[in-house]
Amino acid sequence: MTLYATLDSPLGELLLVGELLLVGERAATAPGGTALASLSVPDQKRGAVVQEGWTHDPAAFAGIARQLRAYFDGAQDPFTFAAVPRGTDFQQRVWAALEAIPYGTTTTYGAIAAAIGAPRGAVRAIGTAIGANPLLVVRPCHRVIGADGSLTGYAGGLERKRLLLGLERAVPDAA
């Protein structure tokens, strides 16, 4: 069952989409029983849009919302809720490298290529995989910048990328 909720944030109204975690044949009912499949911002390239048949259930996202609010309030703790792993093997490798970028730091597309053992020429493919990230903020693609230190591509828009890096006090310099 696909669930959704919205959450006000400094980036605009976030759309949270998730699925109930299953325990045996029963849906998990404990807090955190929802796995996040998508987090998108208004006007995001390839962002999720509420579909017919989805269930609006803000309570199912209470734990996720609490962690997101803490992040926007300046907490540096990593997110601990479950996420739905959707994507190709290559995307999963790139996204795992994104999750390893520490709070308050930046890195480059070339460094991501090196981290996953891809050739330097794979930077464009890495950019495409990063652009397909369905979990903005949570999977910190905003921490990836150009080799020259410039802010480049962000599905949520460069102003939001700048806002997130400012929130984290990350100085955009190649790491």
Q: Is 141 a catalytic site residue?
A: yes
Q: Give SS3 for 12.
A: coil
Tell me which H or E stretch contains 144: strand 144-145
Contact 149, 108 (CB under 8 A): no
Choose the catalytic residue: 141, 145, 164, 170. 141
Sign, CA dihedral 91-64-155-170, equals negative
Cβ neighbour number for residue 15 with a 10 Å cutoff: 19
Q: Which two tokens stand for residue 2?
A: 């696909």
Residues labelled catalytic: 141
